[in-house]
Structure 1
């Protein structure tokens, strides 16, 4: 995630391409749906990808499975956690959700939430579409050497749902500017209240002064940085080269990101507790009234995901 225009979609695409020989799922959860194009999809084809947000009822019905705590798929919220009888997802497997809604883009398996359309104006919130991603991640079990890369909405919009807690590590893309550092401070102020791990990746770094500025502003959170790139510029003009042609220093940054992610321990108990917390918040704030039932009863306090 990061400030709008910081390069987070570009970096998400580079990181996904770096990981594409591994079990991988990439998800575009940004209101500006550009990840497919950044991965090399033809713009017309990218605009026609099947959208998670348009198939939310089907996603709920599949994930609910035989969970006796959930009366119906219609009673599921975006925050509903899995429980006994729920269908869980692996990063790579055959299931009807992936079959219908995941598309191969130059070797990267990609799902998209779908754009904010004219029909949504004045009647819908984009986070209702992102809710499909939150549901998927609540029910997804990944192991060592498996990856899910999500391009998030810009800035503080990420905090409009519990989605920001669903990751082992958040890479905050930060330009060497005061405005970009301001988004970093705002983000970590919220994220660390929830135990969310954040690593800063500098972008558009041109010289030692840029590195010094970032290090002074974000301290030990600075993991690595990406410089100006002819490889990226070519991709932005529609000329996609093999990822092994990325400049060595920039490729080293992607390797550093992967190593930092691989080093993060799995804490399934905390993950389940956070899912339950946000589900209770949503149920009490609006879900119970809409459903005419107490949806906090969908939580099994003994249930924890394990690989």
Structure 2
């Protein structure tokens, strides 16, 4: 399953995504965690020191290698230089599996040992001083979009992506690359405004969106969320001394998380399992092609000097048939 966490800055999005990742790893599910936020905090939320988090390899810095690997023997793409962040896979492309070893993971992913289980962690890379005034952060998340376009994932295999805050996710087609998007919302007008904006943008693309209430302090807060969010409200995460200790630098065992909050993580897992059952491979592939053609017309054709529409393989659908055929 491909899962995204979004929300207003300061809503607790990264904390909850890290908790969900820990929970999945603890029950034995293979997980790739991706930090795609402009503020790279997922590593420390998973127990890395700031120095260790800062030393993670940048996906953006390895983009040429990623393109070359994913291109494979696709006859519609003659060189990696002709690939952009939205290039869809076709016959001959290399497809990634969550549980495999490959050159992309060797260069860009690092294992993170947790108190229960472990995960692979990948990061887009921080927005640096050299980027100021000359680069857009969304160019850094292009590698994530390209990877998800070429990813085969099955039941109980997870990619969990901590997205950039607010509605900035809509600056690319990345927001359509997930089976389920969890929006973390505080019981405030600002928190709800981000939800409404995301809901409106996602409406035409069939994005599956569920809301997790956070920093809920009592019945009035919960009633506010229910009134404003309606059926999109999945659950709410309550006050947590466990999270407080984590944010103070301690490493409490996941099994000591408050029972009510552990139940929230189980609810998220059940929602993810349900999203997989509703996956439509044809729609997923068609959306990748849609955004590729839009990017090609907007800037990609001019940058590469070719008509990128010719990269689309109309007979290719990324789906279960490839998963059945691919080695685990």
TM-score category (smaller protein): over 0.9
Which secondary structure does the structure 1 equivalent of 2:10 belong to? coil
Deviations 1:3-42 (A, max 9, x none): 0110100011000000012011110000000000000001
Which secondary structure does the structure 2 equivalent of 1:158 belong to? helix
How far apart are the structure 2 equivalents of 1:267 and 1:235?
38
Residue equivalent to 1:244: 255
Deviations 1:181-221 (A, max 9, x none): 00000000011211001000001111111111100000000
Which residue of 284, 296, 299 maps to 2:297? Answer: 284
Q: Is residue 154 of structure 2 the alignment partner of residue 154 of structure 1? A: no
How far apart are the structure 1 equivalents of 2:256 and 2:204?
40
Residue equivalent to 1:228: 239
If the length of structure 1 is used for normalisation, what is the TM-score? Answer: 0.99
Report matched runs for 1:173-188 at 5 Å. 173-188=184-199
Count of residues in correspondence between the two structures: 307
Q: Is residue 177 of structure 2 the alignment partner of residue 170 of structure 1? A: no
Which residue of 61, 64, 69 maps to 2:76? Answer: 69
| TM-aligned CA deviation for residue 243 of structure 1 | 1.1
**Cα pair 2:30 2:119 within 8 Å, conserved:** no
Residue equivalent to 2:152: 141
Which secondary structure does the structure 2 equivalent of 1:205 belong to? coil
Which secondary structure does the structure 1 equivalent of 2:65 belong to? helix
- List gaps (5 residues or longer) in structure 2: 1-5, 324-328
Residue equivalent to 1:19: 24
Which residue of 50, 56, 73 maps to 1:43? Answer: 50
If the length of structure 2 is used for normalisation, what is the TM-score? Answer: 0.93
Deviations 1:46-88 (A, max 9, x none): 1111110111000000000110111210110100000010000
How far apart are the structure 2 equivalents of 1:91 and 1:206?
38
- List gaps (5 residues or longer) in structure 1: none
Larger displacement relative to structure 2 (259-268 or 30-39): 259-268
Which residue of 100, 124, 127 maps to 2:107? Answer: 100
Q: List structure 1 runs of 4+ shifted beyond 2 angstroms.
A: none
Deviations 1:249-276 (A, max 9, x none): 1111110011011011221111000000
Residue equivalent to 1:262: 273
How far apart are the structure 2 equivalents of 1:17 and 1:161?
28
How far apart are the structure 1 equivalents of 2:215 and 2:119?
25
| TM-aligned CA deviation for residue 108 of structure 1 | 2.0
Report matched runs for 1:117-128 at 5 Å. 117-128=128-139
